[in-house]
């Protein structure tokens, strides 16, 4: 009888661990292509964001002396208009302090590529936005790291998945635009964002070929 009870108890423990493991796996599973498309395909209006100017502003703010910094919680967003754009937040794992993508995130990057070539998203360009949570590094170092990570995702999408480079605009915001301002050190602030940015510029229509001049009829001799 005792052996039977131990067997039942052991079985219950194994089943419980299996359920916990399955739940954990479900939480870290890569998003589907349709999940990503659903987040990005409701573009309405482009924002007036000057990307070169924004990059410069991020670096200038990141170099601000500590005495002039209101602190992570009160730090204003560097580009609040980006919040108006359709967004997909991706949990991409990188090696510590590097732009090297860990193998566990390859599937997620592949799903992003699949989404970007979906028929409903082909007419658009996208921002690849890098963020970094507040940590022991300087804000300047984190701004540089976030840009390198955004560049790394762009490079994989272009070189491996053949997404047109004209459709992808990487920008690193470092600590200058927390996704959760109330918790600057939270892992969510290290997520990478894909934002639907604008419509792909239409190619200028080809000029019609000039019709050859009609030959004059030969004069009769």
- Give the model's pLDDT for residue 203: 67
Q: Token match 């635009």: residue?
A: 177
Tokens, residue 168: 């992808």
Range with the lowest mean pLDDT among 25-34, 68-77, 147-156, 172-181? 25-34
26 band by pLDDT with thresholds 50, 70 and 90: very low
Nearest Cα neighbor of 51 from 79, 75, 77 is 79
For residue 101, pLDDT beyond 80: yes
- Give the model's pLDDT for residue 121: 98
Neighbour-count burial of 80, counting CB atoms closer than 10 A to its CB (0-12 exposed, 13-18 middle, 19+ buried):
exposed
12 band by pLDDT with thresholds 50, 70 and 90: very low
Q: Are 90 and 193 in contact (CB under 8 A)?
A: yes
- Give the model's pLDDT for residue 218: 57
pTM for the whole structure: 0.79
Where is 158: in which H helix or E strand?
A: helix 139-159
For residue 96, pLDDT beyond 60: yes
Q: Token match 């030959």: residue?
A: 215
For residue 219, pLDDT beyond 70: no
Question: 93 φ, ψ to 5°?
Answer: -95, 125
Nearest Cα neighbor of 154 from 194, 96, 115, 203 is 194
For residue 206, pLDDT beyond 70: no
For residues 199, 203, 204 and 207, what is the CA-based torsion angle, rounded to 10 degrees? Answer: -150
DSSP 95-125: -TTS-PBPGGGHHHHHHHHHHHTSTTTTTEE
71 or 194, greater pLDDT: 194
**CA 197 to mean position of chain CA atoms:** 11
**Cα–Cα distance measured from residue 48 to residue 39, given in angstroms and rounded to the nearest whole number:** 21
Range with the lowest mean pLDDT among 65-69, 81-85, 106-110, 139-143? 65-69
**CA 152 to mean position of chain CA atoms:** 11
């Amino acid at each position: 009888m005792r052996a039977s009870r131990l067997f039942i108890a052991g079985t219950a423990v194994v089943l419980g661990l299996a359920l916990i493991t399955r739940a954990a796996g479900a939480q870290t599973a890569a998003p589907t292509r349709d999940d990503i498309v659903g987040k990005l395909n409701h573009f309405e209006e482009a924002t007036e964001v000057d990307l070169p100017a924004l990059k410069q502003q991020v670096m200038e703010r990141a170099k601000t002396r500590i005495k002039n910094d209101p602190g992570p919680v009160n730090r204003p967003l560097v580009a609040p208009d980006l919040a108006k754009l359709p967004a997909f937040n991706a949990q991409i794992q990188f090696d510590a302090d590097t732009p090297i993508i860990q193998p566990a995130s390859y599937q997620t990057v592949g799903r992003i590529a699949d989404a970007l070539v979906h028929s409903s998203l082909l007419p658009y360009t996208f921002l690849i936005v890098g963020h970094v949570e507040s940590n022991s590094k300087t804000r300047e170092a984190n701004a540089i790291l976030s840009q390198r990570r955004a560049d790394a995702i762009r490079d994989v999408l272009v070189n491996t998945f053949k997404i047109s480079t004209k459709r992808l605009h990487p920008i690193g915001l470092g600590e200058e635009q927390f996704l959760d301002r109330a918790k600057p050190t939270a892992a969510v602030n290290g997520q990478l964002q894909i934002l639907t940015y604008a419509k792909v510029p239409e190619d200028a229509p080809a000029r019609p070929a000039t019709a050859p001049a009609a030959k004059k009829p030969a004069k009769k001799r």
